[in-house]
Amino acid sequence: MGLMHIQFHFFNPHDVYDMPDNLTAEAVWAAFFTLENPNDAEAAQMFGKSYSDIPLVVVSNTAEYGIASWGWGTRFYLKRPFKSDELQTALAKCF
């Protein structure tokens, strides 16, 4: 894809509530949320609605939140385990 460097920062779901209001797509290229429980889903939903200009990718062990996540502005839904080409597709959808 021509990307030389990707930097990942890991946050807990509750960190979404403490993010600054001026968070923009210039500061954050994409957000990946791993859903393990309803609290994670709630945080991903809040992020998607609050920061609609930042592409959101949801990662989950199940398809449970698949349909609902599209309403949050999700660009791609990855169900684990996923293949590297699926991850590349998800990253490409964030451009």
Q: Which domain holds residue 66?
A: 29-93
**CATH number where 85 lies:** 3.40.50.2300
- 70 located within any domain: yes
Neighbouring residues of 9: CB distance < 8 A, sequence distance ≥ 6: none
Number of domains in the chain: 1
Residue identified by tokens 């490409």 is: 92
CB-based contact 24:53 (threshold 8 Å):
yes
- 37 located within any domain: yes
- 19 located within any domain: no
- 62 located within any domain: yes
- 16 located within any domain: no
**pLDDT (average), residues 63-78:** 91
**Burial group, residue 10, by CB count within 10 angstroms (0-12, 13-18, 19+):** exposed
pLDDT above 70 as % of the chain: 80
Ranked by mean pLDDT, the top range of 1-5, 9-13, 19-23, 79-83 is 79-83
- 13 located within any domain: no
- 4 located within any domain: no
pLDDT-based confidence at 26, cuts 50/70/90?
low
